[in-house]
């Protein structure tokens, strides 16, 4: 095995860190120590992304005895083109998308964007939704991006899990 074969593709503020840590604790799974590698697609900070496939692969000990080698990058879910890139890289990969109640996810991202300084602390939710932060709504529209993964990978390889359901178990 010399390819990443498990992708946690997010959704922002939906529990990807929680699922990443759960997967990392499993004895058959090696999750890259750095979450958010940004290798595939064009979302995310360019200065943080590996410059080449060899650089990307340095994050994974392919000679170790793991069944899955995982990359958790939430931005991957945003584009069908990224789904194509991952499929070209490893057509047999397994993919997980974690989602959350869209309103709760939006409210969490709204607060997070204030913490990051993307939004001023005084910005109201109504103001943010009036166009100051278009990502707030875009990231809650799972129906616009996740079907590309379902179409390319099918139910045997692509699974959507919900944060709320996961917390129940």
Query: Is 2 buried (19+), middle (13-18) or exposed (0-12) by CB count in 10 A?
Result: exposed
**Amino acid 167: pLDDT:** 66
pLDDT tens track, the chain, 169 positions: 699 999 999 788 778 888 999 999 999 999 999 999 999 998 777 777 899 999 999 999 999 999 999 999 988 988 889 999 999 999 999 999 988 888 888 888 888 888 888 888 888 888 888 876 677 777 777 788 889 999 999 999 999 888 777 666 6
Closest by Cα among 97, 77, 95, 99 to 164? 99
**Amino acid 50: pLDDT:** 93
Phi, psi dihedrals of residue 68, rounded to the nearest 5°: -125, 140
**Amino acid 101: pLDDT:** 84
Q: In what order do the strands lie in the sheet with 68-72?
A: 29-31, 68-72, 6-8, 94-99, 158-162
**Amino acid 169: pLDDT:** 62
**Amino acid 1: pLDDT:** 63
How many helices (H) and strands (E) would you count in the chain? 8, 5
**Amino acid 42: pLDDT:** 86
**Amino acid 118: pLDDT:** 84
Distance CA 126, CA 110 (A): 11
**Amino acid 90: pLDDT:** 98
């Amino acid at each position: 095995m010399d390819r990443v074969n498990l992708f946690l593709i997010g959704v922002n503020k939906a529990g990807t860190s929680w699922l990443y840590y759960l997967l990392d604790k499993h004895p058959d799974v090696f999750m890259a120590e750095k979450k958010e590698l940004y290798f595939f697609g064009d979302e995310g900070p360019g200065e943080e992304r590996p410059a080449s496939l060899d650089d990307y692969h340095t994050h994974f000990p392919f000679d170790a005895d793991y069944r899955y080698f995982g990359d958790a990058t939430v931005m991957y879910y945003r584009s069908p083109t990224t789904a194509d890139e991952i499929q070209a890289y490893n057509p047999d990969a397994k993919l997980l998308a974690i989602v959350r109640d869209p309103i709760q996810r939006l409210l969490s991202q709204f607060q997070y964007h204030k913490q990051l300084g993307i939004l001023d602390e005084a910005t109201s939710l109504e103001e943010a939704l009036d166009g100051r932060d278009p990502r707030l709504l875009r990231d809650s529209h799972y129906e616009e991006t996740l079907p590309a993964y379902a179409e390319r990978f099918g139910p045997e390889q692509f699974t959507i899990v919900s944060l709320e359901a996961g917390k129940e178990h």
